[in-house]
Homo-oligomer: A and B are copies of this chain.
Amino acid sequence: MSSKLFAIVAGAGTGTGRAVALRFAKTYPVVLMARRPESYHDTVSEITQAGGRAVGVSADVSDERSMGTAFDAIKKEFPGFKLAAAIYNVSSGYMIKPFLELKLDDLEGSLSGSAQGLFNFAQKTIPLLLDAVPESEYSPTLLVTGATSSIRGSAKFGTLAAGMFARRALTQSLAREFHPQGVHVAHSIIDGIIDVPRTRTYTTNGGVEDSKLNPESIADSYWHLHTQSRSAFTQELDLRPYVETF
């Protein structure tokens, strides 16, 4: 693998973001992007200590100016590197509430993380991914994390669903525009509770082993998506624990 390729993970906290960063760091230097340094600090150390290369960058994906500054820093950090993979794993803030108790701000918070954030991230990364097409062993890849709320608007989850549906719409549109140019764009519907410190006390599916999504397992499928041949791209897949009802 060329040493001149790197990857970016936006939304690199605990959970999926951390596991995907660790997985891609086995092959590429990785940029971990999050709003606050405490989100990526430990993972950056973990990768570095394991002999990989990782750089943390603080940015607010929903803010164009913040993203401009972040990508200037990234380009300085990786001069001459091409972008092999960009992963958008930002959580959208949302409230689970009866509709009439919601405020417009609740909707806008969800849209901001899901739609504006992905829009800005894609504006910055797609040109870099296109630029890597001739050199990357694997097709340069934009991977976007979705959820059940990406395909189903449930009662009380309206603002979350609005954001996640919009995120999926953007991802599909990008796939249809950029697949023919050699950039792979895929969306994963994560259906279930992810097994992270914050959810450790949740009892799901009777609490049996593997009843929550293991972030490392998610990362394995993200890596598989990245390495797919351009003759057989997946645009969308679902991921859920074996005991999850669907």
Binding site for B on A (CB under 8 A): 64, 98-100, 102, 104, 107-108, 111, 115-116, 119-120, 122-123, 126-127, 139, 149, 152-159, 161-180, 182, 184, 195, 210-214, 216-218, 220-221, 224, 227-246
From B108, B123, B153, B167, A100 is in contact (CB under 8 Å) with: B123
Interface centre among A153, A161, A220 (most CB of B within 10 A): A153
From B111, B180, B211, B245, A242 is in contact (CB under 8 Å) with: B180
Chain B residues positioned under 8 Å from A123 (CB to CB):
99-100, 102, 104
What number of copies of this chain does the assembly contain?
A: 4
From B154, B169, B177, B217, A155 is in contact (CB under 8 Å) with: B177
Chain B residues positioned under 8 Å from A120 (CB to CB):
104
User: Could you tell me the dominant secondary structure of chain A's interface residues?
Assistant: helix
Chain B's closest residue to A180 (CB) is B243
| A173 → B minimal CB distance (Å) | 3
| Contact assessment for B233 and A242 in the assembled complex, using a CB-CB cutoff below 8 Å | yes
Chain B residues positioned under 8 Å from A229 (CB to CB):
210, 214, 216-217, 220
From B107, B152, B227, B244, A119 is in contact (CB under 8 Å) with: B107
Chain B residues positioned under 8 Å from A227 (CB to CB):
220
| Contact assessment for A213 and B231 in the assembled complex, using a CB-CB cutoff below 8 Å | yes
Chain B residues positioned under 8 Å from A235 (CB to CB):
238, 240, 246
| Contact assessment for B236 and A242 in the assembled complex, using a CB-CB cutoff below 8 Å | no
11 contacts between A and B (CB under 8 A): A98-B177, A99-B122, A139-B242, A158-B173, A161-B172, A162-B173, A165-B165, A210-B230, A214-B229, A230-B241, A233-B240
Chain B's closest residue to A173 (CB) is B158
- What's the Cα separation between A108 and B214 when bound, in Å? 35
| A195 → B minimal CB distance (Å) | 7
- What's the Cα separation between A64 and B195 when bound, in Å? 39
Chain B's closest residue to A108 (CB) is B116
From B163, B164, B238, A236 is in contact (CB under 8 Å) with: B238
- What's the Cα separation between A139 and B180 when bound, in Å? 35
Interface centre among A169, A212, A230 (most CB of B within 10 A): A169
- What's the Cα separation between A127 and B15 when bound, in Å? 35
| Contact assessment for A218 and B242 in the assembled complex, using a CB-CB cutoff below 8 Å | no
Which 8 A-B pairs rank lowest in CB-CB distance, beginning with the nearest?
A: A153-B172, A158-B173, A217-B232, A155-B177, A161-B169, A165-B169, A165-B165, A153-B173
